[in-house]
């Protein structure tokens, strides 16, 4: 519905659709987390990990803090943000991300490692992330 309401809704390719869908999914999750936080005083924040495993040993971060960190990372490297959005918010595989962005699977893996390291550093340094 958000895509249909957008004035610039003219998606011509599967690639464009997947990139937009990942961004919209991020917005939906962030909006939900904000509404949940406003609606319940003292409620636990929505927490996410940047791991493919169902049971992750990695720390879980507040979704709103992750969104803010992704906004900062966009200023440094927008492609890394697109990789994270496609992998962890849209649920695409490494191969699907590579095909969508027109880059190699090794580039997707490298961008994922670099983005995750940057995000972990940013989120671990922030107060109240619960990590």
Mean of the per-residue pLDDT values of the chain? 79
Q: How confident is the model at residue 131 (pLDDT cuts 50, 70, 90)?
A: very low
CA atoms within 13 A on the CB side of 112: 22
Report CA-CA distances (Å) from 70 to 3, 34, 90.
21, 16, 15
pLDDT of 124 over the 50 cut: yes
Residue 90 confidence (pLDDT) above 50: yes
Query: Is the predicted pLDDT of residue 82 greater than 80, yes or no?
Result: yes
> Domain extents for the chain?
2-125
Structure confidence at residue 127 as a pLDDT band (50, 70, 90): very low
Tens digits of per-residue pLDDT, 10-61? 677 777 788 788 888 888 888 888 887 776 665 666 666 666 654 555 667 7
Which SS3 state, helix, strand or coil, does residue 48 take?
strand
Q: Which residue has the higher pLDDT, 78 or 88?
A: 78
Phi-psi region of 91 (alpha: psi -120 to 50; beta: other; left: phi over 0): left
């Amino acid at each position: 519905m958000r895509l249909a309401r957008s004035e610039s809704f003219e998606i011509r390719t599967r690639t464009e659709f997947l990139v937009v869908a990942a961004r919209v999914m991020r917005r939906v999750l962030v909006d939900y987390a904000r509404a949940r936080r406003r609606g319940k005083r003292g409620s636990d924040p929505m927490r996410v990990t940047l791991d493919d495993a169902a049971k992750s040993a990695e720390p879980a971060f507040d979704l709103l803090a992750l969104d803010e960190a992704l906004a900062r990372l966009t200023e440094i490297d927008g492609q890394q943000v697109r990789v994270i959005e496609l992998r962890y918010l849209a649920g695409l595989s490494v191969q699907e991300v590579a095909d969508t962005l027109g880059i190699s699977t090794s580039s997707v893996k490298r961008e994922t490692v670099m983005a995750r390291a940057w995000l972990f550093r940013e989120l671990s340094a922030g107060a109240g992330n619960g990590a």
